[in-house]
Amino acid sequence: MDRLINTIRPYPWGSHTALPALLGTVPDGSPQAELWMGAHPGAPSRVERDGYLRGLDQVIEKDPRGELGDAVVRRFGPRLPFLVKLLAADAPLSLQVHPDPAQASAGYAWENAQGIPLDAPHRTYRDPQHKPEMIVALTPFEGLCGFRPTHESADLLAALDLDWTAPYIAALRSDPAEPALREVFSAFLSLPPRRLAEFGDALASAAAQDGPLREEFAVYGGLPRAYPGDPGVPAALLVRHVRLAPGEALFLGAGVPHAYLRGLGVEIMAASDNVLRCGLTSKHVDVPELLRVVRFAALPSPVVRPERAEDGEDVYPAPVEDFRLSRLVRQAGDGAHVLPGSRPQILLCTEGTIRLTSDGADGAEVTLAPGESAYAPAGENVTVSGAGTLFRATTAPEHDN
């Protein structure tokens, strides 16, 4: 077992204070958006091995079966298939979707065949993997996730009182929903600058006026100021606004449009860089490929609540093999809890003081404060003691999927 040394990513949408408050550090004036934990080559965690600091990606590459176990290598190849983050948003992220495995594999192969460099700004597929993800709120958390029911979108558009939206309102009030969503979403991504400016003005005005929809419009009213003339602004109005209480989660599968707005959470995802952006960004937007990947269906409530497992962990159910996320909340006086080590795991403390003891050859002991984490390779059971909250990330057991 190893203590992880992790990297903070300073994206512009990040909070200046949330991560420092959790970590007990002094804000440095820059946005601190994400703290990465894992072996992703973009910002791999480091561990101390043989007296040297080494990237976790390099450690796994040197001995994948020893670190990950035969079952994980057989299912996912010689790589850690998940990435854990602490995410702290203080402004909207881009509106985006992720591909399914077949789309990612085909898109990656096609762009390779075209000779598009992996780091090209217009490249869409950076690897052949899908990217399902889940975020668990540590504070009140807001986001956009999945298409709202079409009649609700029609009512919002009607309230903006823009004559040229009448055909879109009529489409959204017709059945079935899928072709209506495809038609309106596609049209919004292709609006000319004049229409985008009118839409942004109307949205900002609606957010400032009293009325039954004011609170709903207030969620979207800041988008035109942050992203003037961006086609993601009208597209976002079709996507459901979600509020999470601490401990609640969102699961985001392939093709589901989403954008985080604000809050602090624990995020886990398949270790991939494949993002197709719809808007609210200055980065590349590949509209034809985006429309091929988006799933045009209204999404039932996307909120995920933990389920208590027999071993006492709260498990956040997700229909993927790449990751399994659970939470262990411990009180003073609780007995020791053993985490079985059949698969590799990353252990993150978010509250209190958690002590970990490995039964591996080195018998390592690690004490974690909030924001600190550890990595245990396959084959090491870890005993948990102390009082606080521990998140455990690993892969799903083979029989779960």
User: What is the set of active-site residues?
Assistant: 277
19: left (phi over 0), alpha (psi -120 to 50) or beta: alpha
The DSSP letter of residue 209 is S
C-alpha distances in angstroms, 168 versus 29, 96, 153, 177, 301? 44, 22, 10, 12, 24
Quick check: 156 and 147 in contact, CB under 8 A?
Answer: no
- C-alpha 89/C-alpha 93 separation (Å) is 8
Contacts of residue 211, defined as CB under 8 A and 6 or more positions apart, other chains included, come to: 159
For CA atoms 313, 316, 318, 323, give the dihedral sign: negative
Q: Which amino acid is at 224?
A: P
- Vertex 141: Cα angle to 248 and 354 (nearest 5): 60
β-strands 2-3, 239-244 pairing: unpaired
Counting beta carbons within 10 angstroms of the beta carbon of residue 362, is it exposed (0 to 12), middle (13 to 18) or buried (19 or more)? exposed
CA–CA gap between residue 287 and residue 120 (Å, rounded): 17
Grouping H, G, I as helix, E, B as strand and the rest as coil, residue 141 is strand
- Partners of residue 364 on adjacent β-strands: none
Asked if 360 and 379 count as a contact pair (C-beta separation under 8 A), the reply is yes
Q: Kindly report whether the peptide bond that precedes residue 12 is cis, defined as omega within 30 degrees of 0.
A: no
> What is the maximum alpha-carbon separation in the chain?
72
CA 253 to chain centre: 10
Q: Where are the beta strands (DSSP E) in 72-137?
A: 82-89, 95-97, 133-137
> Beta strand pairing status for 307-308 and 314-316?
antiparallel
